[in-house]
């Protein structure tokens, strides 16, 4: 049996028209780092709160370490939780904030001190031990909140958007700290975020949700390279995948603005002879401007005018309008162009995706 099992979990609030979470099924192995990700209102935090015991499960069964926990009180589930707001006690020092939960659990004072010292050391809070929260930065407060969770020595950590209140630089450093902490503790972690970059960089597996329903679960690169539908394809990756309404007719792909290209053999094989209207998708890094690819796929060269450029250093984004849609090409610093320049480019045939126009499911025969 897996460490955590969600068996057809549903959550519906009183007087609500639809479920907040519908038929959630998932298994999580011990020591895995799992990220729940999706837009606001998709049900990810509600699912986490059901694991914690803060929300009642409407139907279905939840097992933690082989035990059904639907009716088990939060304090008896063997979990530690870190919230979006740090919820620190303002009148207590760092040391006392970290140890307060252990004190409530009637842990002996000597053991509390050992665990608090350990947490302070691995979180780099030694010089802040006697400070109160008002005298700490956002990142330091978040470390204290993490310390309060890890001293409980639980097998399961639940984190609900813990970095959303931090600035960009702190978020990067705290992502690294949380990942390192997860490996050192050997715990199982469920991490909720709306930020797909956090999910991609931290998690062993990602669960993508929309409207309370799991769209796809898998390893980060699996979701990135083989999305099951247009929603997953657009949600994972920054910038998001480019999408074009197209018509496949014979061996031609016709774009909405009149542009055409020959249907590559690799793409045709994935379509299995399917014709008609559909949605084509391709990621920005798979739009190529270099001479080698322009020569290799010369029969499908396209042109567009650069409307905007995001200069970020080694990787840069060029914005154009092509196929009736906004298009973002991700290029190196050697391929950077000016606004108003006309660029020639090709789509890598092996990286073209096709989605059903109506269901938006990926077409893959």
What is the 3-class SS of the chain, one letter each residue?
CCCEEEEEEEECCCCCCCCCEEEEEEEECCCCEEEEECCCCCCHHHHHHHHHCCCCCCEEEEEECCEECCCCCHHHCCEEEECCCCCCCCCCCHHHHHHHHHHHCCCCHHHHHHHHHHHHHHCCCHHHCCCCHHHCCHHHHHHHHHHHHHCCCCCEEEEECCCCCCCHHHHHHHHHHHHHHHHHHCCEEEEEECCHHHHHHHCCEEEEEECCEEEEEECHHHHHHCCCEHHHHHHCCCCCCEEEEEEEECCEEEECCCCEEECCHHHHHHHCCCCEEEEEEECHHHEECCHHHHHHCHHHCEEEECCEEECCCCEEEEEEEECCEEEEEEEECCCCCCCCCEEEEEECHHHCEEEECCCCEECCC
CA–CA separation, 58 and 99 (whole Å): 35
CA–CA separation, 192 and 164 (whole Å): 11
Domains and CATH numbers, the chain: 4-234 (3.40.50.300), 243-356 (2.40.50.140)
List Cβ neighbours of 134 (8 Å cut-off, separation of 6 or more). 90
CA–CA separation, 276 and 289 (whole Å): 29
pLDDT of residue 288: 97
Q: Dig out the tokens for 281 from the structure.
A: 């998708």
Q: Dig out the tokens for 217 from the structure.
A: 């679960």
- Residues of the chain scoring pLDDT < 50: none
List pLDDT tens digits, range 134-185.
999 888 888 898 888 888 878 899 999 888 877 788 788 888 888 988 888 8
Whether the CB-CB separation of 136 and 86 falls below 8 Å is answered with no
The number of angstroms, rounded, from the C-alpha of 210 to the middle of its chain's C-alpha atoms is 12
pLDDT of residue 180: 87
pLDDT of residue 163: 83
Nearest residue to 234 via CA among 343, 139, 353: 353
Residue 270: how many CB atoms within 10 A of its CB? 17
Mean pLDDT estimate for the chain: 93
pLDDT of residue 124: 84
CA distances from 235 to 230, 353, 354 (A): 8, 15, 16
pLDDT of residue 142: 84
């Amino acid at each position: 049996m897996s460490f955590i099992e969600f068996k057809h979990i549903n959550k519906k609030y009183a007087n609500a028209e639809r479920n907040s979470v519908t038929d959630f099924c998932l298994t999580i192995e011990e020591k895995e780092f799992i990220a729940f990700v999706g837009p606001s209102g998709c049900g990810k935090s509600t699912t986490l709160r059901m694991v914690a015991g803060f929300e009642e499960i409407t139907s279905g069964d939840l097992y933690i370490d082989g035990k059904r926990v639907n009716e088990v009180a939060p304090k008896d589930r063997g979990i530690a939780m870190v919230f979006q707001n740090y919820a620190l006690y303002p009148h207590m020092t760092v040391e006392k904030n970290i140890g307060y939960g252990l004190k409530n659990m009637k842990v002996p004072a000597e053991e509390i001190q050992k665990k608090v010292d350990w947490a302070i050391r691995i979180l780099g809070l030694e010089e802040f031990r006697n400070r109160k929260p008002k005298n700490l930065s956002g990142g330091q407060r978040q470390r204290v909140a993490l310390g309060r969770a890890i001293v409980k020595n639980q097998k399961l950590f639940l984190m609900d958007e813990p970095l959303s209140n931090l600035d960009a630089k702190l978020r990067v450093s705290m992502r690294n700290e949380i990942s390192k902490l997860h490996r050192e503790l050997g715990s199982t972690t469920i991490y909720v975020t709306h930020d797909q970059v956090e999910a991609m960089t931290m998690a062993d597996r990602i669960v993508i949700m929309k409207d309370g329903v799991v769209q796809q679960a898998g390893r980060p690169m699996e979701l990135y390279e083989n999305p099951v539908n247009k929603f997953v394809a657009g949600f994972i990756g920054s910038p998001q995948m480019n999408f074009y309404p197209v018509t496949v007719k014979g061996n031609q792909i016709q774009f909405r603005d009149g542009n055409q290209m020959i249907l590559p053999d690799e793409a045709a094989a994935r379509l299995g002879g399917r014709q008609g209207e559909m949605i084509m998708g391709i990621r920005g890094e798979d739009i190529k401007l270099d001479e080698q690819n322009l020569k290799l796929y010369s029969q499908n060269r396209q042109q567009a005018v650069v409307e905007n450029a995001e200069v970020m250093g080694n990787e840069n984004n060029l914005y154009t309008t092509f196929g009736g849609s906004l298009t973002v090409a991700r290029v190196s610093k050697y391929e950077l162009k000016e606004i108003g320049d006309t660029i020639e480019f090709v789509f890598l045939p092996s990286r073209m995706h096709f989605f059903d126009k109506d269901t938006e499911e990926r077409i893959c025969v």
